[in-house]
Chains A and B, each alone.
Chain A
Amino acid sequence: MRRAPVVRPAARAAEFIAQDAIHEPAHDARLWDLRVRRDAAARGVHEWERLRDLASKIREHTLGRLDAYLEEFEHNAERKGIRVHWARDAGEHNRIVFDIFRARGVTEVVKSKSMLQEECGMTPFLEERGIRVTETDLGERIQQLDGQPPGHIVMPAIHKTRADIARLFAREIGSDAGNDDPRYLTESMRRSLRERFLAAGACMTGANFAVAGTGAFVVCTNEGNADLGASLPPLHVASIGIEKIVPRTEHLGVLVRLLSRSALGSPITRYTSHFAGPRRGGEMHVVLVDNGRSRLLGREEFRRSLKCIRCGACMNTCPVFRHSGGLAYGSIYSGPIGAILGPAMDERKFRELPFHSTLCGSCTQVCPVKVDISDQILAWRRVLSAGAQTPLLRRQAVRTAGRILGSPKILRAVTKAGRRLLAGAPRILAGSRLLSPWTQHRDLPPAPRRSFREWYLDERKGRGTKQP
């Protein structure tokens, strides 16, 4: 079995930074602005921290009784005329969806944003079998036309400039390449997508939440594309990860109040839609998907990542993400949450993601459901280090460092030698393989004449005749 190549986020990020003086600074500024808006929105809710705590408790409680809540959801959904399917993995999900469409002769599908459907590789699967799938979220549509995965879970094309999008639209939907006004570009895509909406035989959505007590699921958008899609063709298929379950309707109040404020700094998304049954004369299907979630549930250190409500606040606050661009992570789940979900999905492919972090902890502080992201990143480093998933050279370097730091005598010798080299031959040191990653971007400090220890022995213990 061919293994996917290891994703190297630092190298990809370097390319993102090096492409010009526009993309990376703009990406950083735009996402920091969302962090600032998030802070302002949070300040407007005086019980904000209590709300986060409550949301975390709701999610953790649910995970502790997930089996019962899943059965309750299924029972209530079916009573309302929703057909509920269960998919163990991505492949089964795709086959179930395909069978639904094939049995009804559907060849045109419009979909709203669903990370789960991307995770399952659903679109290429369906398109290989003659079903055309059109993303209707503007950011997802941009990425679809460009053959790229989303670069951010809430704003999939935020790493692109308007000029990039103008060039793309001219190529793909025949708009004017010279007009990069966002209003014109949005209008062009509106017209293009409207045809697809009206011609669609089915609509697909994800779900932000699925309520066990009622069998209803919730879809939050700002464009209204999920609602437009669901209101036209008579067939609606929703893909829902088993971790999306919420016990009661009242819990939505807590989560909805946190979601959009955390994501974009607005009190609510413009459309918060609740589906609890098919339209008159229509059909509604829900596919509940596991795809590794039950396994993650069983991992004590990492199960709390299942609390995630996909708001993207961790990405907006993370300076590493803002300077790297989302595509650097090689996964639809990027940034801090991606660093802890990635290795759970494929330990080898994503083994560098937890190291593409400074462990600054900002993500943990903005997360509306209090996922301990930064702690889990460190925990993944321990797992990967113990399982020999880190590069051999680095493992050896770290082990050597451990030996040096564990021995007072060796450390003193290394310190003295290093200082002599720094004083006498700084350029050689700077060019060395050990230090060139440092000196590629930073100058070295000047070498002090004495270490602190030497100073102390000289000045405070009167050791010798060293000159001040």
Chain B
Amino acid sequence: MVRSSREAILAWVRANLPPAEAPPPDAESPGGPPGLLVQRFESALEALGGRSWRVTSAGEAAAKIAEIHPAARIIASAAPEVPGTLRVERDVDPHGLAGVEVGVVRARFGVAETGAVWVTQEDLVVNALAFLPQHLVVLLDPAELVRDMHEAYLRARPGDTPYGCFLAGPSATGDIEGVIIHGAQGPRTLDVLLLAPGGRADDGRR
């Protein structure tokens, strides 16, 4: 009788099961001070090598990007407020983003405890937008901050999307003598622009 590997493994597991333990208590948020979420988010992000900026309009956002990346020729954006030089559409082959200097996306919310932002396949349109460009800019509504990862997971519901990422700081490595270097394989820099969702810039500038 040939048993499939699936059946074999499940049978072995069942034969070796330890005594059942009670379900663990609920993983609740520990709470903590409800205020100063923006400040805590900013300092956590900074500790991981990211930077944050407060802007008040789409125009200011575009200007800030130009200020941070003056030499950028191609700015690929999936964010509604920032037109960029290249709109990221559904059917773009991700390899086509290889020459992009700056990727722009709007995140759904941020996490004060860790300085992370939550972005999904729906936000990115093309997942590679957050990884292949040399630099990444994320727009985030400062009113959309949760305290900690417990609250974050309740809100994110990662099972509902094929891809979702808590992104905190630029790509980094410490593999060489423990020295932290940014831009290991992914983006060299991460800038978060704190801006409520709003209209587009209508002054024609990038």
Contacts and interface: CB of A to CB of B under 8 A. Distances in A.
Contacts of B152: 253
A54 B24 CA distance: 7
A294 B12 contact: yes
Nearest to B149: A253
B5 A88 contact: yes
Given A64-B21, A298-B15, A86 B5 contact: yes
28 contacts: A34-B178, A54-B27, A57-B25, A65-B17, A67-B10, A70-B9, A86-B9, A87-B5, A88-B9, A157-B175, A160-B176, A182-B181, A186-B173, A186-B176, A190-B184, A222-B172, A223-B184, A224-B186, A228-B132, A231-B131, A232-B95, A242-B13, A252-B158, A257-B113, A271-B167, A272-B165, A276-B159, A297-B17
B20 to A, nearest CB: 4
Contacts of B48: 266, 268, 270
A416 interface: no
Contacts of A274: 156, 158-159, 161, 163-165
A315 interface: no
A136 interface: yes
Contacts of B9: 70, 86, 88, 242, 288, 290, 294
Interface of B: 4-6, 8-10, 12-27, 29-30, 44, 47-48, 90, 94-95, 98, 113-116, 121, 126-128, 130-132, 148-150, 152-154, 156-179, 181, 183-187
Interface residues of A, number: 97
Contacts of A194: 98, 185
B178 A158 contact: yes
Contacts of A225: 184-186
A92 B154 CA distance: 37
A138 B166 contact: no
B4 A86 contact: yes
A66 B13 contact: yes
Contacts of B15: 294, 298
A198 B94 CA distance: 9
Looking at chain B's contact residues, the main secondary structure is: loop
B130 to A, nearest CB: 7
Contacts of A88: 5, 8-9
Nearest to A61: B21
B51 to A, nearest CB: 14
A247 B27 CA distance: 12
Choose among B19, B48, B174 the residue with the greatest number of A CB atoms under 10 Å from its CB. Answer: B174
Choose among B4, B29, B174, B177 the residue with the greatest number of A CB atoms under 10 Å from its CB. Answer: B177
A266 B47 contact: yes
Choose among A218, A276, A298 the residue with the greatest number of B CB atoms under 10 Å from its CB. Answer: A276
B171 A279 contact: no
A216 interface: yes
Contacts of B181: 182-183, 186
Nearest to A216: B159
A235 B126 CA distance: 15
A149 interface: no
